[in-house]
Structure 1
Amino acid sequence: MTSLQQARAVAYEIGCRRIGAPQTVPLSGALGYTLAAAATAQATVPTTDTSAMDGWVVSGPGPWRLDGTVTMGALPGPPLAPGRARTVTTGGAVPPGAAAVLRAEHGDLHGDRLLGLAGRPASPGSDIRRAGEEIRVGDLLAPAGTPVTPPVAAAAAVAGLDELTVYPAPRAALVLLGDEVIDSGVPAPGQVRDAFAIALPAILATQGVSITDITRVQDDRDAVRAALTRNDVDVIITTGGTGHGRCDHLVPAVGETGGVIRVRGVDIRPGHPTVLAQLGHVPVIGLPGNPFAAVAALLTIGSPLIAGLIGQPSPSLQRRVSGQDFSGVTRGTRLVAVREVAGELFAVERQGAAMITGLIDADALAVIEPSGALAGQSVQAIPMPWIH
């Protein structure tokens, strides 16, 4: 049985081997992807000295005579002589010779004569944004491996970039195994409703994965083998069939298609029948058939593989504070659905491997070592990806 730490390392290594070829896309199309190359500034920001406030650019001590207006969007105007002032709005280019910006609320204009209010001096350099104080040409905006968030795209735009080089979204095939699974209506005794076709694509979308198709496969080895025989996707994700029973065909089907099992079984509860495999260059994540166990395995083991696929660092487990005592398990790692209350983690009510309803109230997945954890202690946790 592979430890959780080892399984996460193997998963990340498998994902990195299948990383897609970088693509250069417009800024508007880069959001949600991951930088394949560093974004560096092509422009200085601000491009010239600019006013940080509405008011007047002034030269020398007051009072001043008004000699015009700074035009927004225009180059810096002619030099400003001592004793002179020009009306300026926020962002306007400061002309040579200007010593400061006098804020509109700090000045009193009488005709063309400007006086500073008592106690409100325009000290040298005040309210002027100097050229390049935010960014200079060649500055690093974001390194490769950075997710393209709205702030990254906005910074790229103001720094003169029109395009970014990113890794493409991984394409995933979802293969749902099991004779007992139905996709509509009330299940009869011995049947279960499919929870995966609805939940897994949504969870994977939060991680930047695009589902190309969903295939339902009966508990038949030939059918499972046929569903795995493809190389038109970046990852195959299966549910069910990962155990050692007579109806569990995933592992033998991988072998019969020339694949390699990298991990069979992980020391986590729930989720221990998780499988990691490679079919040529295509990774396979074999999730358990029980819904909570499958989600737990996807978050703990599937996430590092996906991070590798999109060029991101392997995600670290976060540190949180336990609000209660958590018992460990005899061996391996216990995964507990928890809710955060006042900065502390508490177990939700329903915790069984098959109990998907417990996740309704969960904010995170607590990772409890065999020794357990006492209230007030630091524990590792993985936030639920649907919680914002």
Structure 2
Amino acid sequence: MAWAEARARVHEAGRAAAPDPVELPLAETDGQTLAGPLSTLTDLPAFPTSSVDGWAVRGAAPWRVLGRVLAGGTPAPLTADGTAVEIATGAMLPDGADGVLRVEESGRTAEGLVTGALRPAPEWRAPGEEAHAGEELLPAGTPVDPGVIGLAASCGYDTLRVRRSPRANLIVFGDELLTAGRPAAGRVRDSLGPAVPSWLRRYGCAIDASDVVGPVADTLAAHVAALREGLSRAELVCTTGGTMHGPVDHLHPALRELGAEYVVNTVAVRPGFPMLLARVAGPDGRPRFVAGLPGNPQSAIIAVVSLVAPLLAGLRGRPVPELPRATLAEPVPGRGDQTHLALVRIDPVRHTAHPVRHVGSAMLRGLASADGFAVIRPGTRGEPGDEVPVVPLPLLPGERSG
């Protein structure tokens, strides 16, 4: 399947299987996703407030001081010209006030009257200046971060209706893998078991050390048992290795035994093409997903950014983010009729993409120094000066790129 089509298909599968929203206290919503639009429950501000410390005045100077109003208080109205109240920043403006005089721009007469001149621009905030009651501030699908939480609180919300982060498991396949120490004697160190959970967390999954299983023995029975256990505990199970049809590649037979339905089975992308996403009915009847990541480390991460990321966006009720673009600083070869995802570093000042070295499908050195993947369309090659889409490597939940 074409790379762009695969991304669109898995996103739609995720949207169709998105779990029901839940209502959570504000303090528990960081990293979740708005299930509906965030609208104001009141005008913002809800009442006229002073934006400076000073004097709320009525009429022309000088002004006789009648009292003081602090934030949180409700002042009596000013009914006569030539009167004022001392006012603190954030305090409610009295009815009848014509403006606010900054304390540092005020003076006093011998009789204790306040003098000074109001600035042309108001020194107070009118009701609805930021938003009017019922106005939509953020759409459904917006990631909840500290800024959103603060905005919701200012609007009067105590809880938010959100879509929770999906739970994920990781199953590592391969008798040849070591989980500690140096590679030797034909056995290689498992690099995906420690790394993939961190990628998944950056895409919004809930996963911890207890959700990582393996290496699982290279037998069909062991594969089926591990998948059944993972699917009983998580909405998404990622597996590493076994996506081809070799003598110890048992993932496809295991999926058949579980009655899985392929959403995507191999993608026309290099590196990483033997990737897959399958849908399986969970114990509760709701859809679960298995993402088959290739065993080669860089290919596995390409599968994460190509299939897992858009699936999780769908499950969380979010759109697939639009890919930023950058200008190639050097040539990048094409891969015939397949999309080429080429590791690049981005110059943030010039917005140029620079290919990195050590980018074989089994290598991780290039990935460790890259900012993302330049997308070279099928049937093309990248030339210096070409503007191409870039799949950025993910940030931590809640972070915003510059």
Interval of TM-score (by shorter of Structure 1 and Structure 2): over 0.9
1:1-388 alignment runs, 5 A limit: 2-111=1-110, 112-116=112-116, 121-123=118-120, 126-211=122-207, 213-216=211-214, 217-229=216-228, 230-280=231-281, 281-341=287-347, 342=349, 343-370=351-378, 371-386=380-395
Distance 1:103 1:267 in 2: 66
Q: Secondary structure at the residue paired with 1:13? A: helix
Distance 1:80 1:207 in 2: 59
Q: Structure 1, residues 5-29: CA drift from partner, whole Å, max 9, x if none?
A: 1111221122123212211110000
Change (3 A) 1:176 1:131: same
- How many residues matched? 383
Q: Contact (CA 8 Å) 2:74, 2:92: kept in 1 or not?
A: yes
Q: Structure 1, residues 238-288: CA drift from partner, whole Å, max 9, x if none?
A: 110001222211112111221122322111111101011112221111011
Distance 1:306 1:227 in 2: 22
Q: Structure 1, residues 218-255: CA drift from partner, whole Å, max 9, x if none?
A: 22122112222233321111110001222211112111
Which runs of 5 or more structure 2 residues have no equivalent in the other structure? Answer: 282-286
Name whichever of 316-325 and 192-201 sits farther off: 316-325
Which runs of 5 or more structure 1 residues have no equivalent in the other structure? Answer: none
Distance 2:177 2:113 in 1: 84
Q: Structure 1, residues 89-122: CA drift from partner, whole Å, max 9, x if none?
A: 2111111111111122322223522222xxx543
Distance 1:76 1:67 in 2: 11
Q: Secondary structure at the residue paired with 2:211? A: strand
Q: Secondary structure at the residue paired with 2:252? A: helix
Q: Secondary structure at the residue paired with 1:57? A: strand
Distance 1:375 1:19 in 2: 41
Q: Contact (CA 8 Å) 2:78, 2:84: kept in 1 or not?
A: no
Q: Contact (CA 8 Å) 1:38, 1:143: kept in 2 or not?
A: yes
Distance 1:380 1:190 in 2: 39
Q: Structure 1, residues 126-150: CA drift from partner, whole Å, max 9, x if none?
A: 1120012113322223222111111
Distance 2:385 2:167 in 1: 42
Distance 1:177 1:312 in 2: 31
Q: Contact (CA 8 Å) 1:14, 1:283: kept in 2 or not?
A: no
Distance 1:80 1:209 in 2: 59
Paired AA for residue 390 in structure 2: A
Paired AA for residue 307 in structure 1: A
Q: Secondary structure at the residue paired with 1:210? A: coil
Deviation at 1:80, TM superposition (A): 4.6
Q: Contact (CA 8 Å) 1:135, 1:159: kept in 2 or not?
A: no
Name whichever of 82-91 and 288-297 sits farther off: 82-91
Q: Contact (CA 8 Å) 1:41, 1:159: kept in 2 or not?
A: yes
Paired AA for residue 377 in structure 2: E
Paired AA for residue 147 in structure 2: P
Considering only aligned residues, what root-mean-square deviation do their CA atoms show, in Å?
1.7
